[in-house]
Amino acid sequence: MKYLIGLISLLVFSTSMVGQYNITFDIDNYDNDTTVVGYYIMDKQLVLDTLYRDGDVFVLQGEDTLDAGTYLLLTKPDNKFVQFLVSETETEFKMRYDYDDPAILEFHNAPDNQAFQDYVSFLSKKRPEAEKLRDTISKLQEQELPYDQFTEALDQIDKDVLNKQNEIINANPDFLSSITIKANQDIEVPDFEDAEEPGFERFKYYRTHYFDNMDLSKPALLRSPFLYSKIKYYMDKLTATHPDSISRSMDYVLGQMGEDSEAYRYYLSHYLNEYANTKVVGYDAVYVHLVDKYYAQGKAPWVEEDNLLKIVDRAYKIRPTLIGKTGADLKLYKQDSTAVMLSELDCEYLVLFFWAPECGHCTKSMPALVEFNDKWKDKGVKTVAICNKLQTKTKNCWDAIEGKDMLRMINLADQYHESRFKIKYNVSKTPKIFVMDKNREILIKDIGAEQLDKIIDDIIALKKAEEEEGNE
C-alpha cells in the first residue's frame, strides 16, 4: 500500500507555539515511575522533559510555550513509545493507553488526536490484508499462474485507504491529522503517453509537484518525523548531482519555508555545515552559494558577528578556485631564480601540485605524481610542483626535490610570496592539486595524485566525444 503506512506524523497551523499546556498520560499495566517526553527535529529525536508519576498518571504541564508538533511518550526501561499531537487547539487533554498493547490508545478532549488514532487503527486492519495479497501474488507469479483478481483486490485496498484519507481531510481540513495525511499522500502523475519521452516527462512532473501536498511554511512541520526524509529524498533523488542544481533546489526549499520560520534557520544552518565539510569534489561551490545568497546578505541574523565574518571569509577564499573558474596566473621561480609565468607554459593541460618538504601526505603522493609526469609530459600535459615554503625555509624545497625524485618535473617556489599563490589558490594545507585546461579553466581539484592518470584520460576522452558530436 502506498498511502501513509509509516510513522504517525504531524503538520500544523501557521502559529508555531502554543501557550499554557496540561497533558495527562494514563498508562495501564505500567509499573515504572518515570516516562520521557521527546520530540522530532529534522532527523533527530530529542528529550523535552522527564515525567514522574503523579498518583496514577504522568502530567506534562507548563505556563510557558510549547512548540506545536509531533511528540513522543517513551516508557522505561525499554524505550517503547507512542506519539501524540500538540497544536493551538489541543493543549489540555488526556491520553490513555495500555503498556502491554499500545494499539489500545484513546484520547479525551482531543478530537484531532483521536481522529488520527482512528485512522492509524484503520490502517492497522488494512495492512495485514494487503500483505497477505502481496504474498499470494508473489507465489502465483513464481508458479506462473494467473493473479489478476488478487491484484484487483490489492488495488481496491489502495482505493479504500485513499477514500478514507480524503474523507478525514474533507471533514476537518484544519486538523493536524488531516494536514499530516495530506502531506504524505502521493502525487498523482499523468501518464504522458503521447510525449516523446513519457518517463522523463513523468519525472519532471513529479519533481515539480513533489511538495504540492505540504506547505513547508507550516512551523510544526519541523517537528514531524517525515519532513527531513521528504526533503532529503527531494535533494538526493530528484536533484541532479551538480552544484548548480543542488543550490537551486536548496533555494526552492528554503524559499518555501520563509525566512522567518524556525525550519528555515535549521535547514540553512544544516546545509551550510554539510557543505562546509563536504568531501565531494566541486561541492564547495554549494557552500559559497549559501554564503553569498544568505549569510553575506544578512539572511542568517542568528549568527554572531565573529562567526559570520569567518564564514564569509572562508567563502571569499574558496571562490576563486571553484571548478569552472579561471585559475590565477602566477609568477614563480626555479631554483636558479629564473622567473616562470604559468600563462607562458604551452600545454593542453596544466597540473599544479602544491606541496611541502615535511608533508607526509605529499611524500606518499610523490611517486604517483612522478609516474604521472613521466607518462604525460610529452603528451600535452605539464606538471608543476609548487613548494609552499617561504623566506629562509624555501631552501628546504630545493634540498628535498632530488630525494623525492622530482627533478623531471617543473619545480617552482616563491620565497617572498610576491605572487600570493597561497591566497589565490587557497593553499591552507598540502598536498593540493589543480587540473586546468589550456585556457587555465579549473577542470578539477582536491584529488589524489594516484587519480590523475585516470582523470586526464577521462577529460581527454570527454573532449574528444564533444568534438566528434560537434562535427556531426
Question: CA-CA distances (angstroms) from residue 186 to 42, 123, 165, 230, 415?
Answer: 21, 16, 12, 12, 63
Which of the four pLDDT bands, split at 50, 70 and 90, describes residue 19?
low
* DSSP label at residue 194: T
Categorize the per-residue pLDDT at 88 as very low, low, confident or very high, splitting at 50, 70 and 90.
Answer: confident
Residues with Cβ < 8 Å from 327, sequence gap 6 or more? 321, 342, 352, 425, 434, 436, 440, 441, 442
Contact between residue 35 and residue 27 where contact means Cβ atoms under 8 Å apart: yes
Pairing of strands 101-108, 331-333: unpaired
Confidence at residue 256, expressed as pLDDT on a 0 to 100 scale: 95
| pLDDT tier for residue 414 given thresholds of 50, 70 and 90 | very high
Give the three cell numbers for residue 137.
Answer: 501474488
- Provide mean pLDDT across the span 439-452: 95
Nearest C-alpha neighbor of 37 from the set 54, 24, 55: 24
For residue 438 the three cell numbers come to 589550456
pLDDT over 80 at 9, yes or no: no
**Which amino acid belongs to residue 463?**
K
- pLDDT, residue 220, reads 80
Q: Taking 80 as the threshold, does the pLDDT of residue 266 lie above it?
A: yes
Instruction: Say whether pLDDT at 69 is over 70.
Output: yes
Q: Check if the beta carbon of residue 32 is closer than 8 Å to that of residue 19.
A: no
Shortest CA distance to 265 belongs to which of 286, 297, 294, 226? 294
Cβ atoms 71, 83 nearer than 8 A: yes
Give the integer Cα–Cα distance in Å for 203 and 466: 27
Give the chain's largest Cα–Cα span. 89
pLDDT score, position 16? 45
Give the contacts of 210 (CB within 8 A, at least 6 positions apart): 187, 234, 238
Contacts of 4 (CB under 8 A, 6+ apart): 123, 161, 165, 181, 184, 185
pLDDT of 472 reads 64
User: How far apart are alpha carbons 57 and 33 in whole angstroms?
Assistant: 9
In this predicted structure, the answer to whether residue 15 has a pLDDT above a threshold of 90 is: no
Q: Which of 386, 382, 369 is nearest to 421 (CA)?
A: 386
Indicate whether 116 pLDDT > 60: yes
How would residue 13 be classed by pLDDT, with cut points 50, 70 and 90?
very low
Give the chain's mean pLDDT. Answer: 91
Domains of the chain: 17-114 (2.60.40), 331-468 (3.40.30.10)
Least confident stretch, 4-18, 199-213, 374-388, 409-423: 4-18
Pick from 330, 360, 357, 353: nearest CA to 452: 353
Q: What is the pLDDT of residue 403?
A: 84
| Distance between CA atoms of residues 35 and 52, nearest Å | 7
The bridge status of strand 381-387 relative to strand 349-355 is: parallel
What average pLDDT does this structure show over 163-181?
Answer: 90
Cβ contact 26:57 at 8 Å: yes
Q: Quick one: which of 22, 9, 31 has its CA closest to 77?
A: 31
pLDDT over 70 (residue 18):
no
Residue with cell 526524509: 229
Fill in the amino acid letter for 107.
F
End-to-end, the C-alpha distance of the chain in Å comes to: 49
CA distance 365 to 370: 9
**In the predicted model, is pLDDT for residue 21 greater than 80?**
yes
Q: What is the mean pLDDT of residues 369-392?
A: 95
What's the full length of the chain, in residues? 472
Total-model pTM: 0.86
Q: Is 80 exceeded by the pLDDT of residue 470?
A: no
Cα dist from 389 to 234, 355, 395, 442, whole Å: 45, 9, 8, 24
pLDDT at 348 exceeding the cut of 70: yes
Which among 68-77, 168-177, 295-304 has the top mean pLDDT? 295-304
The CA distances from residue 188 to 173, 212, 290, 429, in Å, are 20, 10, 33, 51
Average pLDDT estimate for 379-383: 95
